């Protein structure tokens, strides 16, 4: 089981990266809200890709006995939210991500956590 919010956020980002999610962003928001410590935000290129990302995150974390308290948006797979208490995961179709732009709403300029994708590491 993963008990540390920092570790959970990075674990989720790595799962998404391994599944080829686009534009993975980690926002530390514990100083902005009491509902969670982190948002992990990523995109899939289609509704099917978003659904696949959802399945990968939930399956891989379930192997570690970590389960979301709640999820929403799974049926349409345009914007799926997974609530892991200390980490909330937002999986977007690109159109929804651009429209809602939650990074703009929650980014105070100091809270973006560096994340380097596998492809960036290889360069």
* Range 38-55 average pLDDT: 97
Averaged pLDDT of the chain: 92
Q: Does residue 28 lie within any of the structural domains?
A: yes
Q: Does residue 32 lie within any of the structural domains?
A: yes
Determine what percent of the chain is predicted with pLDDT higher than 70: 94
Q: Does residue 101 lie within any of the structural domains?
A: yes
> Structural domain tally of the chain?
1
Q: What local confidence, expressed as pLDDT, does residue 1 receive?
A: 64
Residue 115 or residue 28, greater confidence: 28
* Range 32-53 average pLDDT: 96
Q: Does residue 19 lie within any of the structural domains?
A: yes
Residue 118 or residue 28, greater confidence: 28
pTM of the full structure: 0.91
Q: What local confidence, expressed as pLDDT, does residue 86 receive?
A: 96
The secondary structure of 57-99 as a DSSP string is: HHHHHHTTT---SEEE-TTT-SEEEEE-SSEEEEEE-HHHHHH
Q: Does residue 69 lie within any of the structural domains?
A: yes
User: Which band of pLDDT confidence, cut at 50, 70 and 90, is reported for residue 115?
Assistant: confident
Q: Does residue 84 lie within any of the structural domains?
A: yes
CB-CB contact of 56 with 68 (8 Å) = no
CA dist., res. 10 & res. 77, Å (int): 23
Q: Does residue 60 lie within any of the structural domains?
A: yes
CATH of the domain at 88: 3.30.460.10
Q: Does residue 31 lie within any of the structural domains?
A: yes
CB-CB contact of 92 with 25 (8 Å) = no
Residue ranges making up the domain that contains 19: 5-113
Pairing of strands 38-43, 22-28: antiparallel
* Range 33-62 average pLDDT: 97
Cβ neighbour number for residue 56 with a 10 Å cutoff: 18
């Amino acid at each position: 089981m993963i008990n540390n919010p920092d570790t959970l956020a990075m674990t989720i980002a790595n799962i998404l990266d391994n599944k080829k999610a686009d534009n993975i962003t980690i926002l530390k928001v514990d100083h902005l809200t009491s509902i969670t410590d982190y948002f992990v935000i990523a995109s899939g290129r289609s509704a099917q890709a978003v659904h696949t990302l959802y399945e990968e995150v939930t399956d891989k974390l379930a192997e570690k006995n970590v389960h979301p308290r709640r999820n929403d948006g799974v049926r349409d797979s345009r914007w799926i939210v997974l609530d892991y208490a200390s980490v909330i995961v937002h999986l977007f179709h690109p159109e929804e991500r651009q429209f809602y732009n939650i990074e703009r709403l929650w980014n105070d300029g100091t809270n973006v956590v560096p994340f380097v994708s596998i492809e960036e590491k290889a360069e």
